Structure 1
Amino acid sequence: MTADLQPASTLREQKKNDARTKIADAVIQMMADGRTDISHDVVAEVTGISRRTVYRHFADREALFSGASTRVRELAGNRVTFPSSEKDLLDTAAIYEGFDRIAPIVTLVRSTPQGRAMRKSQKLERQESYRAATADAVKDLPEPDRTLATAMLQVLHTTPWLEMRDHWDLNGEQIARATAWAIRTLLNDLRTRKGKPLDQ
């Protein structure tokens, strides 16, 4: 279907999505440029999108960062999402090979204050997702051990990429193999410890 034959609602939705993407890409680029003055006004100036439209898509600075974080995951690949199950947790190949595809952006996100602020903008969503994905495995543990185990599994699911790439010269496929093994090992341990605290 050509653009002039598409329903007006479809064209409006496409225009809206294009604006959101342009805004998120601009935030990522400003972070890459080392800018610390990221705001709705600056984004409007850089993109040529009106300040009002920027606010309509992203209500505050945290929402701007959250939109950029979502965009990074989109660029890495459609399987690079927050997990909802143990199966998702074990699909580390999608995560780490996706990170390799956009290595400069992921390095920025993982190693700069702006990138960390961007990741923190989705902290609650991330926690809820990992709690749901690990709920069955940690259900017999006392608190705070449930939280400790869940946090460790989350770290293994996404965090080692930069360290293992920089310090061991490993690629995404290799990192995925190592982290999947570590996650499987921890999940197996959680199932066999029958609720014993993590330090026993």
Structure 2
Amino acid sequence: MTGKKEEQVAARGRRKEEVRNRILDSLIGLLSEGGDINHDRVAERAGVGRRTVYRYFPDQAALMQPLWDRVVALAGPGVKFPGTMDEMIASLPVVYRGFDAIAGLATVVRSTPQGRAVRLAQKDRRRKSYTSVAADAVKDLPPEDRVLATALFQVLHTTPWLEMRDHWDLGGDQIARVCGWAIEVLLKDLAVRGGKPLAEGAV
């Protein structure tokens, strides 16, 4: 009897996982097409009831997080928010190759209102990560300049991909190389700048 109950529990778990994956796949499909992302459209595309979608993902924010996680997983395990400056620099080739690998989806994420909503859902996590990563490098700057420099590090780690791909026909390895160079130049300047404001130019 115990064995039968365990089998039933395992079967229910597999069914739940299957439904969850169908919902996640429908999210990716809607995002790829640039369509509105809401519970009704997800349910229709996944072939499940609206209440089922709400049971797994109770609000709009809950839809955005797994969608972000699925996009990042498709780009590869090395595509993530960095923990240290060294990790950020070392991950550049992995990040930009990952974007190349999912070029269509990565373009949608960066160029549509739906993609922007997915990215903005990670705003707090993103800012916390890069603020921690850049803290030592920017510590001597005036407070406002610390934010500016930190924001630039974050931009160089992920953001130039679409512009450089579209307008310069560059690939991930090339983009990673030049962004790595730019980060290293910034770090060298910050190392000798001390508390000199950014507005006073490079040291």
* TM-score, normalised via structure 2 length: 0.86
Contact 1:63 1:121 in 2 (8 A): no
Residue equivalent to 1:77? 76
Contact 2:67 2:118 in 1 (8 A): yes
Contact 1:85 1:133 in 2 (8 A): yes
Where does structure 2 lack aligned partners over 5 or more consecutive residues? none
| Greater helix share, structure number | 2
- Residues 175 and 10 from structure 1, CA distance in 2 versus in 1: closer, same or farther, beyond 3 angstroms? farther
Residue equivalent to 1:136? 136
Question: Matched residue of 1:74: which SS?
Answer: helix
User: Do residues 118 (structure 1) and 118 (structure 2) align?
Assistant: yes
Residue equivalent to 2:60? 61
Deviations 1:57-84 (A, max 9, x none): 3221122122211211110000000111
Question: Matched residue of 1:199: which SS?
Answer: helix
Cα distance between partner residues in 1 of 2:127 and 2:10: 34
Moved more, 131-140 or 9-18: 9-18
- Residues 44 and 7 from structure 1, CA distance in 2 versus in 1: closer, same or farther, beyond 3 angstroms? same
Contact 1:21 1:71 in 2 (8 A): no
Residue equivalent to 1:92? 92
Moved more, 157-166 or 185-194: 185-194
Contact 1:66 1:119 in 2 (8 A): no
Number of aligned residue pairs: give it: 195
Rg (Cα) greater in structure: 2
> What is the RMSD computed on CA atoms of the aligned residues?
2.2
Residue equivalent to 1:48? 47
Cα distance between partner residues in 2 of 1:69 and 1:116: 11
Question: Matched residue of 2:179: which SS?
Answer: helix
Cα distance between partner residues in 1 of 2:192 and 2:8: 57
Moved more, 69-78 or 190-199: 190-199
Deviations 1:25-44 (A, max 9, x none): 312211222322x2112212
Percentage of pairs with the same residue: 52
Contact 1:86 1:134 in 2 (8 A): yes
- Residues 12 and 191 from structure 1, CA distance in 2 versus in 1: closer, same or farther, beyond 3 angstroms? farther
Give matches, 1:11-26, under 5 Å: 16=16, 18-26=18-26
Give matches, 1:163-182, under 5 Å: 163-182=163-182
Moved more, 135-144 or 170-179: 135-144
Where does structure 1 lack aligned partners over 5 or more consecutive residues? none
Give matches, 1:34-45, under 5 Å: 34-36=34-36, 38-45=37-44
Cα distance between partner residues in 2 of 1:112 and 1:25: 19
